[in-house]
Amino acid sequence: MMTDLAPAKRSAGIFGHHPLRSIRARLLGRMLMLVGLTLASITGAESFILTARLNERVDRELAHDVDAFRSFATESAGGAGPVPGGVRALFLSYLQGHIPEHGQTLITLVDGRPFRRSAEEPPARLDIDRALMARAAAVRTPSYADAHSAAGSVRYVAVPVAVADDPARGVLVIATFTQQERGHINESIRTQIYLGLGAVLLSACVGWIFSTRIVAPLRILRDTARSIHESDITRRIPVQDRDEIGQLATTFNDMLDRLDDASSTKRQFMNDVGHELRTPVTIALSQLETLSDDPAARSRTVAVVTDELHRMHRMAEELLMLAKARRPDALRPEDLSLSELIEEVYVKAAALAERRWLLDFVEDPHRDTLHADRQLLTQAMIQLAQNAAQHTAEHARIWIGGRAEADAVELWVKDTGHGIPLADQRRIFERFTRAEESRGRTGAGLGLAIVKAIAEAHHGRIEVDSAPGQGATFTLRIPRADPADPKTKKSPKNPRQTP
């Protein structure tokens, strides 16, 4: 037996993922990358600044030593004239009378070759570094530079020296070994790096906790989406914050509400169809199964079957209308003139039955505009008028009217029929329900349910005021648009008054 694994693979492709590809891991990775780059930038900047400050301090000390040598050379010359003995004598005299500071060495060159150095043993012999001596012998002006030795980093200054009447060309090299200071800087940088790594590790732990809390609504959203199927869409995501994730959860819940409403409407429609169409279908089938050859009996059977088919047709249209009114996207609202709407309903209702139709409306130009679906409101009012005509005698009075209030509009149909008992008033707006006195009349009992659905689609309600023997008044109350809205500028027509 072969098994189709495609659905499982598709499911794994949608919901299965590598842990390192999760939003939590990516969010934490980007945060740690930012923290690492910040710490690296700070560490690099600090290393650069400390090194620059060290070089600046050493350069000041070297410049001070150069000034001291120049002063010594001037004093050796007696203030004017050449230095006795030339360049070599000047270097020997300076080295004998000058003791370098700790970590410093003095080297003299004459005609490009090492001549003498200071007596103290330096951390490393620089005079044997031919490359360094060659660079120093080539200078023409005092030059500062860095070098590397066996003892580490060295900062030095090379000063060319010339004495009148002496063709020899001398160079004084004053070098300071900076490895110890640079070691302190490197130790500080290493300590900061270790602290930074600890901070990154701490940030990872704290960030993991916070990212877990941040993506928790997303995981709930994922689990809810997984658990939803056609027979159960009742689960909702708890909304705790008003941030973007909270807004996403709210939007998802709204979507589930719409799906739940649509699913409920579909189930109700299927139940209604199965429940109410079963009887006329059963009657039609039984009549056809017992159809005889007698022409009179055949005519009666055809009449019964035709009547049942017409009843099923009317019922199907009402069920479709009821399902449409309950859909979230059923409304096609527009700016309407209240007076024009009532007059339109009045004209259409007058053709329903031989009744004394009366228009009960007082025009108010300042409150004549409402924002609603013209077709659905007309359907609701015509349904109420049809209902009134079915429960009144010929030439009985029926009023169609309305009025505008500050924040709502009321549309009503009032008749002079038998009235509705209080017990029936609580249930006549349910599907397939009729008042006791209307039993035997045509209709499936869906008319008032349709009116109620249209009212609720407009965020309004339907009310009934009736008592036995005193007629009934059905009032449709819906919100209206703000009269200050610039869209509500349509001028109404004058309604007709019918005695």
Residue 485 in any domain: the answer is no
**7 located within any domain:** no
Contact, 400 vs 344, CB < 8 A? Answer: no
- Residue 209 in any domain: the answer is yes
- What percentage of the chain exceeds 70 in pLDDT? 83
Residue that has been written with the tokens 């009148």 in this structure:
164
Same domain, yes or no: 299 and 347: no
CATH number, domain at 416? 3.30.565.10
Are 204 and 120 part of one and the same domain? yes
Residues 94, 202: one domain?
yes
Number of domains in the chain: 3
Rounded average pLDDT over 307-330? 72
The verdict on 186 and 285 lying in the same domain is no
Distances in Å between the Cα of 357 and the Cα atoms of 57, 338, 383, 385, 469 are 108, 18, 15, 10, 20
Task: Give the C-alpha separation, 36 to 204, whole Å.
Answer: 11
Residue 338 lies in a domain: yes
Q: Structural domain of residue 296, as residue ranges?
A: 244-325
Of residues 288 and 371, the one with the higher pLDDT is 371
43 and 175 together in one domain: yes
Distance, CA of 249 to CA of 209 (rounded, Å): 21
Distances (CA, A) of 226 to 223, 264, 299, 307: 5, 20, 59, 49
For residue 112, what is the enclosing H or E element? Answer: none
156 has a pLDDT exceeding 80: yes
Give burial (CB, 10 Å; 0-12/13-18/19+) of 484: exposed
Residue finishing a domain among 286, 306, 325? 325
Residue 393 has which token pair? 């005698």
pLDDT given at position 290: 79
- Of the three residues 297, 325, 353, the one that is the final residue of a domain is 325
Q: Both 198 and 82 in a single domain?
A: yes
Residues 194, 271, single domain; the answer is no
CATH number for the domain harbouring residue 269? 1.10.287
Kindly tell me if the per-residue pLDDT of 98 is higher than 90. Answer: no
Q: Within this chain, do residues 75 and 143 fall inside the same structural domain, yes or no?
A: yes
Q: Are the C-beta atoms of residues 330 and 366 closer than 8 Å to each other?
A: no
Contact 338, 307 (CB under 8 A): no
Confirm if 252 and 237 have CB atoms less than 8 A apart.
yes
pTM assigned to the model: 0.46
pLDDT bin (cut points 50, 70, 90) of residue 490 is very low
pLDDT value of position 328: 63
Phi-psi bin for 173: left (phi > 0), alpha (psi -120 to 50), beta?
A: beta
Same domain, 50 and 186: yes
Q: Are strands 113-117 and 104-110 parallel, antiparallel or unpaired?
A: antiparallel
pLDDT band at 486 (very low <50, low <70, confident <90, very high): very low
The interaxial angle of helices 23-76 and 179-227, nearest 10 deg, is: 170
Last residue of a domain, one of 192, 225, 258: 225
Quick: pLDDT tens for 213-228: 877 777 777 777 777 7
Q: Does residue 62 sit in the same domain as residue 167? A: yes
- The gap from C-alpha 427 to its chain's centroid, in whole angstroms, comes to 44
When mean pLDDT is compared across 34-43, 167-176, 248-257, 431-440, the lowest value belongs to 431-440
Q: Beta strand pairing status for 369-372 and 408-415?
A: unpaired
Name residues whose C-beta falls within 8 Å of residue 455's C-beta, 6 or more positions apart in sequence. 380, 461, 462, 476, 477, 478
Q: Among residues 126, 409, 463, which one has the least CA distance to residue 118?
A: 126
pLDDT per residue as tens digits for the range 336-363: 999 999 999 999 999 889 999 999 887 7
